[in-house]
A and B are shown apart, each in its own frame.
Chain A
């Protein structure tokens, strides 16, 4: 029996998702491909955004994929780490900003 939930080899099988629902699978992969094409943002910028988001959603497949993608594009480790700190800052900030709600509530309830 498989002993872990994640197997790195499964990443390569991603496209198999379409086998159980071809129509939606195809639509998704079409969309995915389009999203990462150069537009107002470069492919390089999109790759860094994807890397940061991958860490936010903590998807090991995505982290693997977009670390490799970044290296292939010549993205430096300094750039990668800065992108991650953006993700971490937003994530930390999102917790902290709710502190205002806490403060409002305390202020309302306390004498």
Chain B
């Protein structure tokens, strides 16, 4: 099994080193424009946060998988886990926020020992769209997780799961041996309780990330191909496919450098830059909360250790007025959000 960058004591486990790489070389010598220069061309700098719509909560970096492209550098060896106390602070915030969507991510969020408690409590507050980003394999990983589909159903959770391809070879290469088969089993379990079925209000969406140093193709064409293949091969149904671009940070950055693809990939991102995607990048309506309660513009900035540019830096200091209108912290990884049709946790943007 692949090890996290932290476990490997890789220099890229240090976010400063990642930011260094992203700010120097081709972006320093003028071969490519920085993201700031690029968005300035259309007077979109500084990027500003609009009204909060989505609260994305990273409940911990622990995961049963160690995917090669993981921007969280998650894995079984990561021990950062959100405490019940921080969860309680988030619950207090949900009661007063304008956000209509609560989006739980990780790691594997289900591995947090307080996961079920938190879902139950958050549900009582009444969120419109309650997303859990489930990696699927966690459902089959251990007996204690087998009841997750029923649990999700009971709380009307919207499931969003990663699936980089409809074939075993490509999926296992990115996500680890055996992941494809376990994911198929989990998808069948979810379908069996009603998730993803046509006209079902139990929403099951899939996330596609390219399995290498290339950008995602057209989201709706990919969705068609996924639907056709998963239905024909396994009789599996799902609702929408979100095509996400891999951002050049953490393990994906490590992969890009090790495979000598870094510069070409950055060229491809810059070349695919779409100014129309800028106004809708997810940091403009999302706030990301880390396992220890700190606030970030997005999950990527969280991993790069770029906290929000606001007086309210922690969930305990949450203040919508202070956070709205803040300048968003950017670097060259942001090109991943504006390439082609754009990319966010909710799929294409433009």
Query: A72 near B216 (CB under 8 angstroms)?
Result: yes
| A43 CB, nearest partner CB in chain B, Å | 6
Q: Which of B215, B217, B271 contacts A74 (CB 8 A)?
A: B217
Kindly count the residue-residue contacts between A and B in the assembled complex, taking CB atoms under 8 Å apart: 33
Majority secondary structure, A binding face = helix
Question: B203 in the interface, Cβ–Cβ < 8 Å?
Answer: no
* Stretch of B76-84, B134-142, B165-173 on the interface side: B165-173
Residues of B close to A42: CB separation below 8 A: 221
Task: Please tell me the number of chain B residues within 8 Å of chain A, measured between CB atoms.
Answer: 18
Query: B165 near A74 (CB under 8 angstroms)?
Result: yes
Majority secondary structure, B binding face = loop
- Distance in angstroms between the alpha carbons of A43 and B170 in the assembled complex: 21
Query: A71 near B210 (CB under 8 angstroms)?
Result: yes
B residues 219-275 with Cβ under 8 Å of A? 221-222, 225-226, 271
Residues of A close to B165: CB separation below 8 A: 74, 76
A43-B169 contact, Cβ under 8 Å, with A72-B210, A72-B214: no
**Given A72-B216, A74-B217: 7 more A-B contacts, CB < 8 Å:** A72-B210, A72-B214, A72-B215, A73-B225, A74-B165, A74-B226, A76-B169
Show 21 residue pairs from A and B whose CB-CB distance is below 8 angstroms, ordered by the A residue. Answer: A12-B271, A42-B221, A44-B225, A68-B214, A71-B210, A71-B214, A72-B210, A72-B214, A72-B216, A72-B217, A73-B217, A73-B225, A74-B165, A74-B166, A74-B170, A74-B208, A74-B222, A74-B225, A74-B226, A76-B165, A76-B170
